[in-house]
């Protein structure tokens, strides 16, 4: 796979989040989040289950509305734009779901064709076929093209889910627990794939995880979400050398010290 | 709101307008009303998803044909067989084709088709959309810049609304065929004679009201099962509940609608 190499443009912000709040009933999940993501940067959001990590990326993708604060994605205020503008913005955002979310009633080929046929109607059948084959090749699963999602392993499903988002060549990738439920070897393959996607397509990514190996391997920057706020931010080494007691058990569990 | 005030709010007893169950019932009715309004808002907005509508018509209509054929044929035979003793007591077995035709076209065909479709198609739609919801496939569709409501809900409701009347007409034909088989084997009535006698008492209003009923039943099956599936919560348990509630609620509403439409058409019949 040809790679361009990492190029993070610190002058160009692709996501700007300010004072973001979100509640579900009496459960105040996000309590004033501020976050900037730069062009070509992989940012890992770490945190315990139920701290609102997935809620954060669902707000970025416009699947949930924030209660307060602003979320600016590629120059668009997600909460303020029309549904049609949001649809156009979503074409530039790739979302890899925790459950992969492949369409059960479609083959791998049909899953990959789905966003392309609906949003790039000018493409010929040959061009669509070529795009599908390229996306599958990028995730190393060309042989699964005619299989059904139920016939794939968990790791393969994750990869196909990523391929389905890559086919639209997004500027931003949002990964929700990309290594959850996978064995260590498959997890490393997914981590490598995340880095390859960043280098090949120069995407900016938010990776939601509580897997520290994933965080260390893929993250240019790590932000730790606790009690609805970011309590630490920096490189992996900066965060875990800070001596913050709240992160100790996290580190100990992942690296069995 | 700070932590202390949040805890205080959680400790306060929750107040209900009427009672917990009644409040929840009226909230559900309101949410269902909003869902129907959303359907009509989306119905006339592009894109129109013709390809998916045709696919759903095939899935709902063509795939239901074997069950409808079997049910219709048996209904025709059994109804004729059960009606004969009562008519023969008065020496009126010659009225059998007319009685059977009226019963099938006015009542049995729309009602049985509605109930069979609610069971087969309603549970299928409820379970399919429910599992798509809990496995985030609907969210995935939304982030692929596809309106999942239009693609999944509008197409299915259009398909059920169009296909149930066609299935009803088909069932009426098959049930009449079943009735003819029984009449022919007992009274040696010819097919021409059976049809002439059968349709002697049928008027346009009978067929119109049956088609109208089937359109309403089809819409009900589609919208109820899509609502149950699309709003599923609580994982796989919720999927099972969505499939079950789709069938039960659709059948209940079909009976209510049957009573109302029969009442309305009878007013026209009398006048």
User: Could you give the CA distance from residue B39 to residue B34 in angstroms, rounded to a whole number?
Assistant: 9
| Chain B residue whose CA is closest to A61 | B143
Which range marks the domain in which residue B209 is found? Answer: 19-270
Reduced to 3 states (helix: H, G, I; strand: E, B; else coil), residue B183 is helix
- Where is A20: in which H helix or E strand? strand A9-24
User: Could you give the CA distance from residue A198 to residue A37 in angstroms, rounded to a whole number?
Assistant: 13
Give the minimum alpha-carbon distance from B228 to chain A in angstroms, rounded to a whole number. 19
Contacts of B139 in chain A (CB under 8 A): 58, 63, 95, 97, 101
| pLDDT for res B31 | 95
Provide the residue ranges of all domains of chain A, joining segments of one domain with +.
12-239
pLDDT tens digits, one per residue of A76-104: 999 899 988 999 999 999 999 988 899 99
Report how many helices (DSSP H) and strands (DSSP E) chain A contains, helices first: 9, 10
> Of A28, A95, A103, which is closest to B143 when you measure between CB atoms?
A95
- Are A87 and B139 in contact (CB < 8 Å)? no
Q: Is the pLDDT of residue B30 over 90?
A: yes
pLDDT tens digits, one per residue of A44-70: 999 888 888 999 999 999 999 999 999
| pLDDT for res B89 | 87
Contacts of A28 in chain B (CB under 8 A): 1, 6
Report how many helices (DSSP H) and strands (DSSP E) chain B contains, helices first: 13, 0
| pLDDT for res A3 | 38
Return the number of CB contacts < 8 Å for A and B: 60
- Are A26 and B135 in contact (CB < 8 Å)? no
> Based on C-alpha coordinates, what's the Rg of chain B?
23
Please report whether residue B24 resides in a domain. Answer: yes
pLDDT tens digits, one per residue of B34-77: 999 999 999 998 888 899 999 999 999 999 999 999 999 999 99
Establish if B8 touches chain A: CB-CB under 8 angstroms: no
Please report whether residue B9 resides in a domain. Answer: no
Please report whether residue B5 resides in a domain. Answer: no
Please report whether residue B10 resides in a domain. Answer: no
Reduced to 3 states (helix: H, G, I; strand: E, B; else coil), residue A30 is strand
- Are A115 and B145 in contact (CB < 8 Å)? yes
Give the minimum alpha-carbon distance from A93 to chain B in angstroms, rounded to a whole number. 8
Higher pLDDT, B7 or A251: A251
Contacts of A99 in chain B (CB under 8 A): 135-136
pLDDT tens digits, one per residue of B134-183: 999 999 999 988 999 999 999 999 999 999 999 999 999 999 999 999 99
Mean pLDDT value across residues A154-165: 91
User: Could you give the CA distance from residue A134 to residue B258 in angstroms, rounded to a whole number?
Assistant: 55
Q: Is the pLDDT of residue A230 over 70?
A: yes
Q: Which fold has domain A12-239?
A: Rossmann fold (3.40.50)
Please report whether residue B1 resides in a domain. Answer: no
* pLDDT classification of B1: cutoffs 50, 70, 90: very low
52-71 in chain B: CB under 8 A from chain A: none
* CA B65 to chain CA mean position, Å: 15
Provide the domain count of chain B: 1
Alpha helices in chain A (DSSP H): 53-60, 83-90, 108-119, 125-138, 154-166, 184-201, 212-218, 236-240, 245-255
């Amino acid at each position: 796979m040809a790679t361009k190499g990492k190029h993070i443009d610190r002058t160009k912000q692709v996501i700007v989040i300010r004072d973001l709040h979100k509640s579900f009933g009496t459960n105040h999940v996000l309590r004033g989040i501020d976050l900037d993501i730069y062009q070509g940067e992989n940012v890992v959001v770490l945190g315990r289950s139920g701290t609102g990590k997935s809620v954060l990326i669902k707000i970025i993708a416009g699947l949930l509305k924030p209660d307060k604060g602003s979320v600016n994605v590629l120059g668009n205020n997600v909460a303020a734009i029309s549904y049609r503008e949001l649809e156009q913005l979503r074409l530039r955002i790739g979302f890899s779901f925790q459950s992969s979310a492949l369409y059960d009633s479609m083959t791998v080929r049909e899953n990959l064709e789905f966003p392309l046929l609906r949003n790039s109607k000018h493409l010929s059948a040959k061009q669509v076929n070529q795009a599908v084959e390229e996306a599958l090749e990028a995730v190393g699963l060309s042989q699964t093209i005619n299989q059904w999602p139920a016939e794939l392993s968990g790791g393969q499903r994750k990869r196909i889910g990523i391929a389905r988002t890559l086919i639209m060549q997004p500027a931003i990738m949002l990964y929700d627990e990309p290594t959850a439920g996978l064995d260590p070897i498959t997890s490393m393959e997914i981590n490598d794939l995340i880095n390859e996607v960043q280098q090949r397509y120069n995407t900016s990514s938010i990776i939601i995880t509580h897997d520290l190996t994933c965080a260390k391997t893929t993250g240019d920057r790590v932000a730790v979400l606790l009690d609805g706020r970011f309590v630490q931010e920096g490189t992996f080494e900066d965060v875990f050398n800070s001596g913050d007691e709240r992160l100790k058990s996290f580190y100990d569990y992942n690296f069995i010290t | 709101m700070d932590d202390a005030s949040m805890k205080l709010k959680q400790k306060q007893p929750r107040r209900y307008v009427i009672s917990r169950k009644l409040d929840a019932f009226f909230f559900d009715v309101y949410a269902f009303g909003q869902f129907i309004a959303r359907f009509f808002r989306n119905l006339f907005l592009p894109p129109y998803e013709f390809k998916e509508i045709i696919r759903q018509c095939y899935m709902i209509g063509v795939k239901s044909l074997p069950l409808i054929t079997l049910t219709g044929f048996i209904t025709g035979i059994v109804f004729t067989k059960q009606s004969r003793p009562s008519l023969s007591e008065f020496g009126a077995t010659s009225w059998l084709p007319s009685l059977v035709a009226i019963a099938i076209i006015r009542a049995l065909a729309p009602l049985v088709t509605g109930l069979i479709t609610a069971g087969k198609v309603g549970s299928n739609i409820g379970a399919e959309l429910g599992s798509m919801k809990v496995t985030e496939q609907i969210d995935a569709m939304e982030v692929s810049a596809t309106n999942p409501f239009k693609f999944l809900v509008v197409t299915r409701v259009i398909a059920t609304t169009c296909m149930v009347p066609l299935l009803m007409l088909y069932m009426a034909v098959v049930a009449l065929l079943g009735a003819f088989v029984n009449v022919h084997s007992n009274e040696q009535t010819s097919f021409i004679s059976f049809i002439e006698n059968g349709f002697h008492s049928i008027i346009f209003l009978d067929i119109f009201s049956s088609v109208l009923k089937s359109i309403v039943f089809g819409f009900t099956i589609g919208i109820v099962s899509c609502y149950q599936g699309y709003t599923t919560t609580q994982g796989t348990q919720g999927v099972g509940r969505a499939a079950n509630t789709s069938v039960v609620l659709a059948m209940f509403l079909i009976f209510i609608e049957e009573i109302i439409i029969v009442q309305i058409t009878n007013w026209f019949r009398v006048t």
